[in-house]
Structure 1
């Protein structure tokens, strides 16, 4: 099904050209006619960033390997998930010195693509795994979704420690949307719980109050008795420090038994294709993002 979806996407992009395809898909997805020359909504501004910001401005921040140096300089190495191995060409023999479980990913690609959790390497075909990830290095992922900053010059394969809670469960994803305004900063906390099972998602303010709108409302809501980490304030401060140089970025973090770990920086949430539960919410977040439209520098 996914292959068919990508095939249809690529055919439409070929016929309509990327901008024509984007315009049509935007109307079908968000249910309103966009203004890409003077964007006001959150979704419009994501599309504007995709087509108008020079890729090199963002490449080192979306590269899952080079961004580690940025994080280290900004907030310290203790927030980084341990790196076990890095290469530009993986071979089956390279796995022999690795633990039984790990995460393998390429430094290019976003949206969860090019990432695989390996919980037991002894039951994995390491030849196929190596072949798959070596092929990922050659893919121009950004060109297919108009996020050209993902097509970095020297993509690499990274193997990291598979992070779990002490009870063996996987952590929630904390996707912290940071809007740096001229007079006031805004922070929205997106929680994605049980992402690889019964995926739940909700949006909250920094006081842990659930917001009355959602992004991609197809998911069930996070439970009202959600077990928040005690060091949430530290998480928000970490996100703000990493987002300081940008008018808007989503900072993805994990909190594992009180320890905070960096995931990635995301500059185009959902590539612009995750609708809000209401049009007004889309424009509300667009007003927080003080960039690109007339009246903002």
Structure 2
């Protein structure tokens, strides 16, 4: 079903051209007429960035391997998830010296099918896994979604330590939308809880108050008694430091029993196709983003 969906998407993009396709999809997704020439809303500015920013300026920052150097320089390598293996082509025998559980991903592209949690290597078909990820390396992820900065660096297969809390549970994703303004910064904290199970999502302010709007409101809300980590302030500090070179970026972090780890930098959240729960909220976040006006 997904292959048919992507085939139809690519066919329509080919017939209409990327910009006309984006205009029509924007109407369907966000339900208002966009201005891509003079963007004002959050979603409009994401689309504008895709077509008007030089891809080379962001390529090393969106690649999951090369961005590690940026993180190391900005905040220190203690915030990096331990790296187990990096290969430009993976074979089943490469897994022999790895632990039983790990995360495998490709360095290009956002989260999705090209990220997989392996919790028991012994029960995994490693040949099939190798073939699957070698195929991902051949896909120009950026071309398909008009985020061409993903297609510049040489894609690689990355294997990282699978991070868990002491009780064995997987951590929440903290996606911090940071808008750096001329005199201050605005921070919207997106919490994605139980992402690989009953995925829940909510937005919060810096005081941990749940906001009255959501991004991609198809998910259930994070529970009202959500247990915030003790090192919350450090997490905000790290995210701000990583974002300081940009007017807007989403900084993804994990918090493992109070220890903070970097996930990725995202410059085009949801590629512009994750609607907010109201048009007013879309324009509110757009007003925080002091760029492209």
Other structure's SS at 2:96 match: helix
Other structure's SS at 1:100 match: coil
Cα distance between partner residues in 2 of 1:271 and 1:31: 16
Aligned-CA RMSD value:
0.7
Query: 1:144: how far off?
Result: 0.3
Does residue 230 of structure 2 align to residue 230 of structure 1? yes
Does residue 100 of structure 2 align to residue 100 of structure 1? yes
Which runs of 5 or more structure 1 residues have no equivalent in the other structure? Answer: none
Query: 1:264: how far off?
Result: 0.2
Task: For 1:9-158, list aligned pairs within 5 A.
Answer: 9-158=9-158
- Scaled by the length of structure 1, the TM-score of the pair is 0.97
Other structure's SS at 2:154 match: coil
1:256 match: 256
Query: 1:15: how far off?
Result: 1.2
Task: For 1:247-286, list aligned pairs within 5 A.
Answer: 247-286=247-286
**Number of corresponding residues:** 293
Cα distance between partner residues in 1 of 2:112 and 2:52: 24
Task: For 1:142-221, list aligned pairs within 5 A.
Answer: 142-221=142-221
Cα distance between partner residues in 1 of 2:153 and 2:230: 40
Cα distance between partner residues in 2 of 1:231 and 1:79: 13
Cα distance between partner residues in 2 of 1:53 and 1:111: 22
Do the aligned residues in 1 keep the contact of 2:179 with 2:288 (CA within 8 Å)? Answer: yes
2:288 match: 288
Cα distance between partner residues in 2 of 1:102 and 1:236: 27
Deviations 1:217-240 (Å, cap 9, x if unpaired)?
010100110000011111000000
Other structure's SS at 1:265 match: strand
Deviations 1:39-97 (Å, cap 9, x if unpaired)?
00000000000011011000000010010010011001110000001111111111000
Cα distance between partner residues in 1 of 2:125 and 2:198: 27
- Scaled by the length of structure 2, the TM-score of the pair is 0.99
Do the aligned residues in 2 keep the contact of 1:108 with 1:152 (CA within 8 Å)? Answer: no
Do the aligned residues in 1 keep the contact of 2:47 with 2:271 (CA within 8 Å)? Answer: yes
Cα distance between partner residues in 2 of 1:193 and 1:164: 14
Cα distance between partner residues in 1 of 2:112 and 2:68: 18
Deviations 1:237-269 (Å, cap 9, x if unpaired)?
000000000000000000000100000000000
Cα distance between partner residues in 1 of 2:187 and 2:48: 21
Deviations 1:127-180 (Å, cap 9, x if unpaired)?
111111111111101000000001123111110000000111000000000000
1:4 match: 4
Do the aligned residues in 1 keep the contact of 2:50 with 2:268 (CA within 8 Å)? Answer: yes
Cα distance between partner residues in 1 of 2:64 and 2:92: 22
